Amino acid sequence: MDNNNSGVAIRRTSSSIISPTNSITSNIPVEDDEYGEDFDLSISSHKRKQSGIPLEVAEGMTGRASMEPSLEQIADDEEEGFISERRQSLPRIQSSSRLSSFPRPASPIPEFDEIFDGENRRFRYASSIKFLSTRNILILAFITVLAIVITIHTPSQPDPGVDVSRPVEADAPTEDGESHFEDVGPGLEFYTEVDHVRYYKSPDKMKEMKSEGPTPADRELGGMHVFKNVCLTNNIDAMSYENNPTTSLRGLIYFTRDQEHNSQRCVPCSNSENMDRWDGTYEDETVVKHKCGMNGLHTMYATSAGDWSSCILEDENTQLMKKFGQTQTPTSVTSVHFFQAPTFLLQFNAFDMESALFDMLMTYLPFWKKYEMNEFPFTSLISHSVKGCISHSHHPFCELLHQMAAFWEVQDLSWESNENTLYCYKTLYYNQVGYNRNLEHEGHVTKEVFGGLRENLFNRFGLPRRRTVEAREKAAAIEGQDLLGTKIILYDKTSRDETHWTDMEAVITEAKSLDKYKDVTFVVVKDFDDLSVAHQARTFNEADAVVMVHGQHMANAIYAVDGTSFVGVGCSGTVPLIGNPRFMELMDSSYKHVSKCKEDNEDDSEACTVCQDDDHFTMTLPAFEKMIDDVMAK
C-alpha cells in the first residue's frame, strides 16, 4: 500500500545554518613518533539548525580533544589535586535562562605546553584526559539536552511563500543550498492510494478540480472523447423505464466555477432528445440553464464533489431530476475513489444485445483495430453496465468483447454498489453511445475491419462454417461435404416475450409436407435465453437463413456466414438495427422485413402477418410460403 499522504504536509523552512566560514577546525600535531610526522586529528563542527545555543558556547564545546592516551595508572591524590586546581580556575555555568548572555569562556581544555612540560608531561597529560572525561563531558551533555528542549519547544512560523497544503519536493534546496523539512500538521489532501486509485474518506479532503474536455481521442476517426478530472454517476431511473429499460445512461460531473451561481447546475437534462453533439442546443437547456452533454453522458456542473452532493439534495433539484427521469446515484457523497490511470468507460445497454452491438461496438471497432496494432492509450476500464464485464461476466456482449480481445490486457476495474461513494477519473475515455448506430459515418467501419473482427470471432468460438462462400466451397471440396440443402433457423418470440408468433410451429409443420421444401431443414429454437453464448453463435453460423421475431437475439447475426438471408417478422413496421443496408453490405447478406398485412391483401399474395394485437400475430400458409420462397431465391 502506498500512502501518498501520511497526514502531515512537508514544508521547507528558512535556513539557519551556520556559515561554512564559521566552522571550527582544530588541527593538533602529535609529538609521539609512532603516529608519524604528518598525522593530525581534526574535529570540525557540522551544519545544523540554530537551536538557541550561542555560537560562542558552541565554539567552546568544539575545541581540541584528541591526544595520545596514557597507559600508566595515576594516583588518586595526584588526580584529585589536579582536578581541584582546575575547578578553581573555571567560570561557573549559569542556568538555562541566562545562556544567551553567557560570555565566551576561557577554554577549559589545557594548552599543549601546559600538558607537556618536561618531567611532569605524562602525569599532566593523563590528568587532563581524566578531567575531560568527567567535568567537560557532563557540561557538554547538559548543554546538548538543553539545546534539544529549546528546539522542540520553539514554534515554527510558516513560510508565507510556500503552499503548505502539498508536499515540497524532497530535493528542493534553500537559498544556502541545503534542504530542510519539518512536519506542520494535517495536509489538505488526505487519501490512501492503492493500484493508482486514491481513496478519499471525505470529498472535503480533495483539492479543487478543474475539468477539461471533451477532446477527440483521434481526429481522423471520431466518436471517442477524452475528459480530464471528471466524475461519473449512474442513472437509477433508466433501469426502471417501463418500455425500454437501459443501463447505458451516465451522469458526468464537470467541475468549473462558471456555473456556481446557477442553482440547477447539478441537474442533468432529460433523455427525451437525441443529443448527438456535446456543443449542441437542446430544449432542456432553458430549464437547467446549462449545456446538456451528449447521448449516454448527461452533464452536471459543480465546483467540487461536495458541492454537487449538496446541490442534488436540494428539494427543487431532486424533484426536477425525478421529472426528467434522471435520478442519480450516489445521492449523498461521503467518500471518493479517484482513478489516476487513464480509464476507458465501457458503456452499453446490457438489456439489449443488439443495441449494445450497434451503440458501442460500431463506434469502437476502428479504434480497436488501431490500438491492437500499436498501443492502448488507457490502462484500465470500468463498466457500470455489467460488473466485471471483460474479466468474468458471461453476458453475451461481454463474452463477445472478451473473445475478440477488445481490450487485450487492459485492467477491468472493480466497483462497489455503494450509494455514498463517487467515482472520479483523472483521464476518462468515452466511446460515445450511439455515435455510429446507424453506420452513417462512411468509412468509419470498413469491410476489412468488420471482416477481420468476424474472422477473429469464428476462430475463437470454433465455428464450423467458414465465413466467406469461397472459403466454404474450398473446405467442402477438401472435406468431401455436400453443400446442397438449406437450413432455416426460426424463433417465435422476443427475449422478454413481448411479441409472440402464436402459430409458428403449426405453419412450419404444414410447409414441411410440401414437395418444394424437401431439401429445406427447418430448425426451431425454443429459447435463446437457455443457450450459452457459444451455442447461440453456432446456431447462427449453421444457418443459411434466419427468420425471427424482432429482439436482441438478432445481434448473433455477427456470427453468421456471408450471404445469409435475414427476415424480421412482427406487427410493427420498425426495421431492426441489423436491417440497416450498410450492415447487410458489410455482411454480404440481405434483409427482408415482414409486418402487418394490409387490409386489401385478400389473396394472400403478400408475405405478411395477421396481428391480433401489437404483441401477438399469426401467419397464413400462403404468406409463409411467399416468405420462404423469397429466401430460397436468394
SS3 450: helix
Q: Where are the alpha helices (DSSP H) in 237-342?
A: 285-288, 305-312, 315-323
Domains of the chain: residue spans and CATH: 20-152 (no CATH), 212-431 (no CATH), 463-633 (3.40.50.720)
Looking up cell 447521448 gives 295
Contact 108, 83 (CB under 8 A): no
Per the prediction, the chain carries an average pLDDT of 76
Chain segment 376-404, per-residue pLDDT in tens: 999 999 998 998 999 889 899 999 999 99
Chain segment 234-246, per-residue pLDDT in tens: 999 998 887 788 9
The pLDDT of residue 578 is 95
Query: How far is Cα 304 from Cα 125, in angstroms, rounded to an integer?
Result: 75
The pLDDT of residue 206 is 87
| Local structure of residue 556 (DSSP, 8 states) | G
Predicted TM-score of the model (pTM): 0.69
Contact 7, 190 (CB under 8 A): yes
Higher-confidence residue: 60 or 240?
A: 240
Confidence of residue 180 (pLDDT cuts 50, 70, 90): very low
Contact 631, 516 (CB under 8 A): no
Contact 545, 631 (CB under 8 A): yes
Higher-confidence residue: 341 or 133?
A: 341
Q: Does residue 104 have a pLDDT over 50?
A: no
C-alpha Rg value of the chain to the nearest Å: 42
488, 492, 489, 493: which is closest to 505 by C-alpha?
A: 492
421 strand-pairing partners: 335
Query: How far is Cα 301 from Cα 264, in angstroms, rounded to an integer?
Result: 9
